Amino acid sequence: MAKQFMFPDVGEGITEGEIVRWLVKEGDEIKEDQVVVEIETDKAVVEMPSPYKGTVLKIHFQEKDVVKVGQVLITIGEKGERAEPVPVGIETAKPGKEAGEAIGPSVVGVVRESREEIREILATPKVRKLALELGIDIKSVKGTGAEGRITEADVRAAKQAMATPEEEKRPAIKIKEKFDFYGELERIPLRGVRRATAKRMSQSVSTAAQVTHVDQAEATELDRVRKITKERATEKGIKMTYLPFIIKAVLAALQAHPLLNAALSTEEEEIIVKKYYNFGIAVDVPDGLIVPVVKGVDQKSIYEIAEDIQHLAEAARKRTVDLADLKGGTFSITNIGMIGGEAATPILNYPEVAILATMKIKDRAIVKNGEIRSVKTLPLCLTFDHRVIDGAEAARFMNDLIAKLEDAAFLNSLI
């Protein structure tokens, strides 16, 4: 009996992904746990292993198609067996409930017209999107494609049939201009990490009341200690940056100000303070931003933290980072200083309630003891959720953070 392999729920709120590459084709014999497809989610490129062995009878999506959790990716069965059409409804049954397990032979997305009748709707996500844009109820469209599949032409024909005489004169064509009044245009599809980043940033700014507090720390001692440990770390094959020291200073400040290591549950009307310390480190990749998480920073040395950052950043850039390494963050740091800049307003990594941007360490003119001096300084920008944290508490946190970064005894204790 043919089995259907559905896009499983991989957790962390992921609801859809884009097909990057099929590693099998129809007719191929596959083994259980063999990777059959690469899917790009808003977190990483995920390799999907098949839970079944057998022959690939049908591949239901093409590369670059967007597939939602619970939709059937491929049908697997015996050689020569016929793959039955997969009903893909407007609303997809959620795995683990009406559709059974996240991976399994259950039928997903059936639109029930009545108790006696179940109608199958066969259409790609692209066709469904077109129907939505044109205001067409896709259930009313008769498909002329293979096995009754609804095509773009079918949807446009349905729209034409609904049109008034004036509308019938207008061509049902969506025009994307290559030039505007001022010159040439380039259109870049919003896909993959960039698309996911856009969605998450929109969610963050529309949910939390975000305020940014800016200050700076003198970095003379930080620079001195980092130079000492850099040589030791190099001998161990570890790249030592300023970031592990900053992480340890942030940890100490968070322990004194636990509200910044928390999340807000609006449903339960509770502030959930995390008693563990997992720091998300923003990594710049060509098409967006990925935030892998260094777990248990309170239990690790600066060398272990530096090694974790190095490995996670490399995996993020290669898009091989494990999904488990993208979960569980309690506080985030974005190190803009490695590129440059004096100040920034970082956006919260929702549902976290605070994020720190570290800027470029360099010589700056400051007034000290009534004299203007050139001193190495580190600008710090803290964005916090004002629903949870007051401005005074954020300022106290920053004062404690700066005190740790400037404290030679504290920094020396880390090495």
- CB-based contact 292:326 (threshold 8 Å): yes
Give the separation between CA 237 and CA 222, rounded to whole angstroms.
21
Give the separation between CA 39 and CA 7, rounded to whole angstroms.
9
- CB-based contact 243:333 (threshold 8 Å): yes
Cβ contacts of residue 130 below 8 Å, gap of 6+? Answer: 152, 155, 156
Q: Collapsing DSSP states into helix, strand and coil, what is residue 256?
A: helix
Answer yes or no: 213 catalytic: no
Catalytic residue among 213, 257, 311, 386: 386
End-to-end CA distance of the chain: 62
Cβ contacts of residue 55 below 8 Å, gap of 6+? Answer: 27, 28, 29, 30, 76, 77, 78, 79, 81
Of the candidates 49, 48, 42, 51, the one whose C-alpha atom is nearest the C-alpha of residue 17 is: 42
Peptide bond between residue 351 and the one before it cis (omega within 30 degrees of 0): yes
- CB-based contact 131:89 (threshold 8 Å): no
Catalytic residues: 386
